[in-house]
A and B are shown apart, each in its own frame.
Chain A
Amino acid sequence: MKTLKTRIKYIAENFYLVLTLIFLYAPIMTMMVLSFNQSKSRTQWGGFTLDWYLEMFSRSTIMDALRNTLVIAFLSALIAAIIGTAASIAINSMKPMPKTIIMGITNIPMLNADIVTGISLMLAFIAFGISLGFKTILIAHITFNIPYVILSVMPKLKQTSRSTYEAALDLGASPLYAFFKVVFPDILPGVLSGFLLAFTMSLDDFIITHFTRGAGINTLSTLIYSEVRRGINPSMYALSTIIFLAVLILLIITNFAPHARKEEK
């Protein structure tokens, strides 16, 4: 009786997991299917085609937006990783009181609504006399990316033991040398996951970019938003499908390959 009950429970749980996955991935599958649709309509199937995959390379608006998106995501994640890691090291060595205050400030961009962050940055850029454009998007993205880096690095820093760093100093290493040889390898996974998270957040951001971009510049998000009413060119679906699949493959390789090798041994 007990086994039947647990089996039913197991099946019900699987059913629930599958339903959730369908819910999460149905829109993504929809976009992938639409990227092969001959008809420009989002609801009519006009036959299979690969035309959109070829057309996207000749569309300069899409390619420009793609380049902006990737450059901004990479630069903002990189700069955020550097500033954030440095800040984490400093915060980690602080007394509880300033630590709490700074971590509170760190939480502001994470907990604040994107629309408020976007508007406030826009007002600030105009007040500082910085003209809206590539620069302002980059600054805005760095601002909301730094907290992700700090929150990824801090737990790793807490795990590192201070005595190994001090041992390195006792053995004659300079603080900088000791940091890069002793502390940095320990916190590297945190820095990398912070960087990756920041990159993802930057790539997926629309709201903050919407308020901080100037007239002449688009990222993929803002380009899509401006095309919503006219109808989106299906090349955009094709591009998104390629990006999604590339990331999927990349993540599968990095996540599971080393793991599988360990199991073989």
Chain B
Amino acid sequence: MSKKLLAGPYLIWMAGFTIIPLALIVFYGLTDGDGGFTLANILAIATPEHRKALFLALGLSLLSTVICLLLAYPLALILRRRNIGRGSFVVFIFILPMWMNFLLRTLAWQTLLERSGVINGILTALHLPNQSLINTPGAIILGMVYNFLPFMVLPIYNVLCKIDDNTINAAQDLGANFFQTLTRIWFPLSLPGVISGITMVFVPALTTFVISNLLGGSKILLIGNVIEQEFTRGSNWNLGSGLSLVLMFFILISMALIAKYDKNGEGTAF
């Protein structure tokens, strides 16, 4: 009985600093400045500028998620087959970059992508035409893929490592070629990791305002930028909360997906 009391501090903490704060967003989002009930803050998503920011964020984050998945899956397969060191080494490689500040790493891409930057320098040296890379949607996608790729690789890798070699051998003994093994064995068995990876990339990509700020210039506004400005500059907290509720709708969808496909918590990243 006394053991359960140990959860006390945690439950009080979570109630005070997770549940109540989220309830406050709902409260602010559904009220106007005087505290009266209104749906205007949520419906504000339909105004052209907000709608544009939401659709752009959805498009860029979906594209980044797909690119991350396409890059990460073969990577996880190779890492599993190589059995490099132990699991901790792979985690080490992907966690290590986080020790250099996230903003500085993203800023470094500015240096690499700029008109007079490193990549254009290499292109010039090769007598190829310069490209305008910075301040484009493409640069934002690159930033998203760069920052969130580890969150796709690690859960997939962890799930792949749990698949028994014998299952794969059995499939091959029965005459399955590489493609058949991939689509009928590897992929279905690794689905919890894939789903968890997708949500771990999609949610931060959808809601980012830093990457679009640093790599997209000031002209490209994502929904995250709009919300951030409402809270730091515009200080219309009700509108900001209302737009956050719209975002939370998409986050809830991804949480529901995880609950459906990853019941045992297999696809965790760490």
Q: Identify the A interface with B (CB < 8 A).
A: 13, 16-17, 20-21, 23-28, 30-31, 34, 42-44, 83-84, 86-87, 89-91, 93-94, 102-103, 105-109, 111-117, 119-124, 127, 139-140, 142-143, 146, 148, 151-152, 175, 193, 197, 200-201, 203-207, 211, 220-221, 224-225, 228, 232, 236-237, 240, 243-244, 247-248, 251, 255
For residue A111, which residues in chain B have a CB less than 8 angstroms away from its CB? 199-200, 203, 251, 254-255, 258
Q: How far is the CA of A105 from the CA of B255 in the complex (A)?
A: 12
A6 to chain B: closest CB distance in Å?
Answer: 12
Q: Does B207 sit within 8 A of A, measured CB to CB?
A: yes
* 26 A-B pairs whose Cβ atoms sit less than 8 Å apart in the complex: A17-B75, A23-B146, A24-B150, A26-B112, A27-B112, A28-B97, A28-B108, A31-B105, A42-B114, A83-B13, A87-B9, A89-B3, A103-B265, A105-B14, A113-B247, A113-B248, A115-B224, A116-B247, A116-B251, A122-B231, A123-B241, A193-B270, A200-B99, A201-B98, A207-B210, A255-B89
For residue A127, which residues in chain B have a CB less than 8 angstroms away from its CB? 24
Q: How far is the CA of A20 from the CA of B160 in the complex (A)?
A: 19
For residue B78, which residues in chain A have a CB less than 8 angstroms away from its CB? 13, 16-17
The 8 Å CB contact of A114, one of B28, B93, B106, B207, is B207
B24 touches A90 (CB 8 A): no
B270 touches A151 (CB 8 A): yes
Mask: chain B, 188-201; 1 = CB below 8 Å from A; 0 = not: 00000000000110
B204 touches A247 (CB 8 A): no
B17 touches A124 (CB 8 A): yes
A184 to chain B: closest CB distance in Å?
Answer: 13
A30 touches B270 (CB 8 A): no
B97 touches A24 (CB 8 A): yes
Mask: chain B, 1-12; 1 = CB below 8 Å from A; 0 = not: 011111111110
A120 to chain B: closest CB distance in Å?
Answer: 3
A237 touches B9 (CB 8 A): no
A200 touches B95 (CB 8 A): yes
Q: Does B123 sit within 8 A of A, measured CB to CB?
A: no
Q: Does B157 sit within 8 A of A, measured CB to CB?
A: no
Q: How far is the CA of A6 from the CA of B216 in the complex (A)?
A: 42
B230 to chain A: closest CB distance in Å?
Answer: 9
A228 touches B107 (CB 8 A): yes
Chain B interface mostly: helix
For residue A93, which residues in chain B have a CB less than 8 angstroms away from its CB? 3-4
Q: Does B102 sit within 8 A of A, measured CB to CB?
A: yes
Q: How far is the CA of A110 from the CA of B228 in the complex (A)?
A: 20
Give the residue name and chain of the B residue nearest to A26 (CB).
Answer: B112
Q: How far is the CA of A232 from the CA of B106 in the complex (A)?
A: 13
Q: How far is the CA of A189 from the CA of B247 in the complex (A)?
A: 37
B18 touches A116 (CB 8 A): no
A123 touches B114 (CB 8 A): no
A72 to chain B: closest CB distance in Å?
Answer: 14
B104 touches A204 (CB 8 A): no
Q: Does B39 sit within 8 A of A, measured CB to CB?
A: no
Q: How far is the CA of A139 from the CA of B94 in the complex (A)?
A: 27
B146 touches A27 (CB 8 A): yes
Q: Does B71 sit within 8 A of A, measured CB to CB?
A: yes
Give the residue name and chain of the A residue nearest to B240 (CB).
Answer: A119
Q: How far is the CA of A121 from the CA of B23 in the complex (A)?
A: 11
The 8 Å CB contact of B17, one of A34, A121, A197, A247, is A121
Most A CB within 10 A of own CB, among B78, B99, B208: B99
B101 touches A240 (CB 8 A): yes
Q: How far is the CA of A228 from the CA of B101 in the complex (A)?
A: 13
B207 touches A115 (CB 8 A): yes
A119 to chain B: closest CB distance in Å?
Answer: 6
Contact residues, B192-238 vs A (CB, 8 A): 199-200, 203-204, 206-210, 213-214, 224, 227-228, 231, 237
Give the residue name and chain of the B residue nearest to A87 (CB).
Answer: B10
For residue A228, which residues in chain B have a CB less than 8 angstroms away from its CB? 103, 107, 213-214
